[in-house]
Amino acid sequence: MEMEETVTPNLTAEAQNQTSVTEFILVGLSNDPKTQLVLFVVFLVLYLMTLAGNFLIVVTIIHDQALHTPMYFFLSNLSFIDICHSTVTVPKMLADFLSTEKTISFGGCVAQMFFLHLFACTEIFLLTVMAYDRYVAICNPMHYLTVMSHKVCLSLAGAIWLGGTVHSLALIGMTIKLPYCGPQEVDNFFCDVPPVIKLACTNTYVIEVLIVSNSGLISVVCFVVLVVSYGVILVSLRNRFAEGRRKALSTCAAHLTL
């Protein structure tokens, strides 16, 4: 009898530990039906404008032979990433504005987190590569087409997508290993790593530090590279004629603004 009494609580505890969350509830931006309707219209218009603008850029670059240069190759990649990045979260958010139950399956939540960080990290890497492209074009124009050949551009594009994939897999790998057996409400209108790991039934301090270190290191390093590259470009323009400076700065203006 004593053995049975000892085993039963252990079995109960083990069963409780094995229970897992199958879906999450997205808190969203508002619970007021009228506000949700207004937000639906606003975000739908912005989303359609984003799709139309970026799709037009991609199609124009593909069909115009004069735009088949490294700069526009990377610009088309940037537009493609913007389309994918917004599509990861906006359609689900728009559907939730018109629904009373704002739920997402565990698998859907993981997929959303993976692609969200994949496209975000790839875009950061791409902006850094675009800065290098402008550096070569302005500071070494005579060898620009040799340095930034078609093969090199394809290799750089593959490298940034691979880097984004590795980064995203690392974050998702740490996230899905945590036990989720209690709270289901994600304090956001989409699934992201920080609010999701807060729902884990364990201490996540170490995981949070690793995630912040991972994402923060990438952001800081890429930002420093951007600042240094454009600093070198600005210094190199001091000895050029006014017309040359104007043309060089005009090619960098859009990238700097972005």
- What DSSP assignment string belongs to 1-38? -HHHHHHHHHHHHHHHHH----EEEE--S---HHHHHH
Domains of the chain by residue range: 22-257
pLDDT of residue 139: 81
Reported CATH class of domain 22-257? mainly alpha
Rounded distance between C-alpha atoms, residue 174 and residue 154, angstroms: 31
Range in 46-50, 123-127, 209-213 the model is least confident about: 209-213
Is the Cβ–Cβ distance between 202 and 104 less than 8 Å?
Answer: no
Mean pLDDT of 164-178: 92
- At residue 208, does pLDDT exceed 70? yes
Phi, psi of 25 (to 5 degrees): -110, 120
What is the pTM assigned to this prediction? 0.84
pLDDT digits over 70-89, tens only? 989 999 999 999 999 999 99
pLDDT confidence of 11, banded at 50, 70, 90? very low
Strand stretches in 79-222, DSSP E? 103-105, 185-186
Question: What is the CA angle 106-111-115, rounded to 5?
Answer: 155
pLDDT digits over 13-58, tens only? 433 444 478 899 998 888 888 999 999 999 999 999 999 999 999 9
pLDDT of residue 35: 93
Q: Is 182 helix (H, G, I), strand (E, B) or coil?
A: coil
Residue 98: beta bridge partners? none
Q: Which pairs count as long-range contacts for 128-133, CB under 8 Å and 24+ apart, including other chains?
A: 128/222, 128/225, 128/226, 129/74, 129/156, 129/160, 130/71, 130/74, 130/75, 130/78, 130/255, 131/225, 131/226, 131/229, 131/230, 131/255, 132/225, 132/229, 133/70, 133/71, 133/74
pLDDT of residue 9: 41
Q: Report the mean per-residue pLDDT for the chain.
A: 85
Rounded distance between C-alpha atoms, residue 205 and residue 209, angstroms: 6
Does 167 or 135 have the greater pLDDT score? 167
- At residue 10, does pLDDT exceed 80? no
Which of 46, 173, 42 minimizes the C-alpha distance to 110?
173
Mean pLDDT of 90-117: 93
